[in-house]
Amino acid sequence: MDALHPTLFLLLALTWGIVAVTLFAGLYVILIQVIFHAPPDGAQDVWDWRFTLAQLAALTTVLGAMIALPITINRLILTRRQTDTVEQGHITDRINKAVEGLGAQKTVKRQRRRQNGRLAYAMGDNNEPDYSKPIMEEITQSNLEVRIGAIYALERISQDSARDHIQIMEILCAYIRQNAGREDVPLPEGEPTPEEWRAWSSQGLEYPRLDVDVALKVIERRGEDGKRLEKDRDEPYRLGLERACLRKIELSRRDLTNADLEEAQFQGANLRFAKLCGVNLALAELQGADLRHADLRGADLSFANLDGARLDRARFDHETDLNQAKLRGATLRFANYASIRQLTDHLKDMFGDASVILPGGFGPKHESWPQHWPKFKLNDSQFEGEWRDWLANPDTYKPPEQLKN
């Protein structure tokens, strides 16, 4: 009933009123005929009398159904509302239970370690460790099995209840922000150079913890209906991963399209082939990050720090915002940026070779070619060496005139 257009509803109500009035009028006419009709005399009069009684019964039945129709519809509406209330209460209980599961902990026993990192054993009579008597301790840690089950339960709820989809996404994003962080990863001291950022980022990556990995996959595979719900809001919803601490984390090939990653910490992260279309990376920390083949079309990188980042084959478009972005020592290779005008002001801080087509479609022979860029294509090792030489002495560096053997 709520879905009916007001005009259609008015038309149906008017039709019902006309039919009801017509039936009332017909019923009164037949009642008058029955009350004031002379007793039947003869076979024909008897059949006419019976037909009139049949009309009376039929009209009474149909009129009763017409009168009961609004009452029946009203009861159906009330029943539907009660059912919806019960169903929503059930979904709320499911969400609360799943959220409780996201904080599940378990107590496990393990052998204690001493300050020097060695396993602890009880001391024997001769004041020597008795290796048959390990010292045990109880610790509390995340119950990943229960947490993963809770994440899958939330995914099922988002599929069953469209009105709770965005709420589920907010819960999962908050969980990722809280549990994916690697604050224990120490950053380089002082003011590191792009080369130092690269060296630091190459010292090992870590995959997301299993429960965080599952939460990311649930977000990635949300259906088109869910994405449409996010987009159709008065203010389109973005995956809320802002300020997430994801240093040196493996996120290659992840789909974070349109996510809010403002002020996120991605220092040294692997984002190769990541889908980052339309993401908000304003003020993000991306020093030393690997963004090769990443899709950054429509991304907001304003005021982001990409010192020493790898941008080989990264995809930009005219909507990619690089306003006030820091690209000191970032590298470009094997890409056509003919239409990416906003890169022009950053080329002096970046390093590339002849595999890049500059904004405007220019190549190495054009006057706009950066003076510190080699005018021919370099292989990987040569490119790395020239990049380091330029960083070491940017004021005096001169690119090679020809390919070195």
What confidence tens digit (pLDDT) does each residue in 64-113 have?
A: 888 888 888 888 888 888 777 777 778 889 999 999 999 999 888 888 88
pLDDT at 96: 92
Q: Is residue 177 part of a domain?
A: no
Q: Between these two residues, 126 and 351, which has the higher pLDDT value?
A: 351
Domain count within the chain = 1
Question: Which pLDDT does position 51 carry in this prediction?
Answer: 80
Find the helix packing angle between 165-179 and 43-102, rounded to 10°.
10
H-helix or E-strand spanning residue 131: strand 129-134
User: What are the residues facing 260 on neighbouring strands?
Assistant: 240, 280
Q: What proportion of the chain, given as a percentage, has pLDDT over 70?
A: 96
Write the pLDDT tens digit of every residue in 302-316.
999 999 999 999 999
**In the numeric block, which tokens belong to residue 207?**
């995959």
Mean pLDDT of the chain: 89
Q: Which domain holds residue 70?
A: 17-33+53-76
pLDDT at 43 over 80: no
Pairwise CA distance, residues 403 & 377, whole Å: 8
Consecutive H or E run containing 157: helix 144-160
Label residue 244 by pLDDT band (50, 70, 90): very high
135 in a structural domain: no
Question: How large is the average pLDDT for residues 37-48?
Answer: 71
> Minimal CA–CA distance to 291: which of 377, 344, 279, 361?
279
Does residue 276 fall inside a structural domain? no
pLDDT at 107: 86
Q: What is the mean pLDDT of residues 291-309?
A: 97
Who contacts 302 (Cβ-Cβ below 8 Å, separation ≥6)? 282, 283, 321, 322, 323, 324, 325
Q: How far is CA 327 from the centre of its chain?
A: 27
The pair of structure tokens assigned to 252 is 């290659």
Measured distance CA(19)–CA(357) in Å, rounded: 77
Task: Find tokens 């499911």 and name the residue.
Answer: 94
Whether residue 131 has pLDDT greater than 80: no
275: its two tokens: 């889908």
Full 3-state SS string of 257-325: CCCECCCCECCCCECCCCECCCCECCCCECCCCECCCCECCCCECCCCECCCCECCCCECCCCCECCCC
Res. 364: pLDDT tops 90: yes
d(CA 350, CA 373): 9
Q: How far is residue 157 CA from its own chain's centroid?
A: 15
In this structure, are residues 165 and 229 in contact, taking their beta carbons and an 8 Å threshold?
Answer: yes
Please give the Cα distance from 308 to 305 (Å, whole number).
Answer: 9
Measured CA angle at 310 (ends 332, 193), to 5 deg: 105
pLDDT at 5 over 80: no
The residue assigned the tokens 């094997």 is 334
| Residue 67 included in any domain | yes
Contacts for 72 with CB less than 8 Å, ≥ 6 apart: none
Q: Where are the beta strands (DSSP E) in 205-260?
A: none
Of the given ranges (36-45, 168-177, 182-191, 252-261), which has the lowest mean pLDDT?
36-45
What would the pLDDT profile of 334-360 be if each residue is shown by its tens digit? Answer: 999 999 999 999 999 999 999 999 999
Question: What pLDDT, on a 0 to 100 scale, did the predictor assign at position 1?
Answer: 61
Question: Model confidence at 142, in pLDDT bands (50, 70, 90)?
Answer: confident
Domain membership flag for residue 24: yes
Quickly state the pLDDT bin for 182 (edges 50, 70, 90): low
Task: Kindly provide the b/e burial profile for residues 12-30, where b requires at least 16 CB atoms within 10 angstroms of the residue's own CB.
Answer: eeeeeeeebeebeebbeeb
Task: Judge whether residue 2 has pLDDT over 70.
Answer: no
Sign of CA dihedral 127, 133, 139, 145: positive
Say yes or no to pLDDT of 379 above 60: yes
Reduced to 3 states, what is the DSSP secondary structure of residue 155?
A: helix
**φ, ψ for residue 75, nearest 5 deg:** -65, -40
For residue 144, the one-letter residue type is: L
3-class secondary-structure state, position 231: helix
pLDDT in tens, 248-287: 999 999 999 999 999 999 999 999 999 999 999 999 999 9
The partner residues of 140 in beta bridges, in order of sequence, read 107
**Residue 180 pLDDT:** 84
**Does the pLDDT at position 405 exceed 60?**
no
Higher pLDDT, 316 or 57: 316
Query: CB–CB of 187/247 below 8 Å?
Result: yes
Kindly give, in sequence order, each residue whose CB lies less than 8 Å from that of residue 90, ignoring residues fewer than 6 positions away: none
At residue 118 the predicted structure's pLDDT band, cuts being 50, 70 and 90, is confident
Both tokens of 374, joined, read 């080699």
Say if residue 4's pLDDT is above 80. no
Average pLDDT of the segment spanning 290-304: 97
Does 197 fall in a domain?
A: no
CA-closest candidate to residue 212, choices 255, 178, 256, 180: 180
Residue 275 domain-assigned (yes or no): no
- Spatial separation of the C-alpha atoms in residues 305 and 239, rounded to whole Å: 21
Residue 29 has pLDDT above 90, yes or no: no
| Selection from 177, 171, 184, 182 nearest residue 212 by Cα | 177
| Least-confidence region, from 55-69, 155-169, 222-236 | 55-69
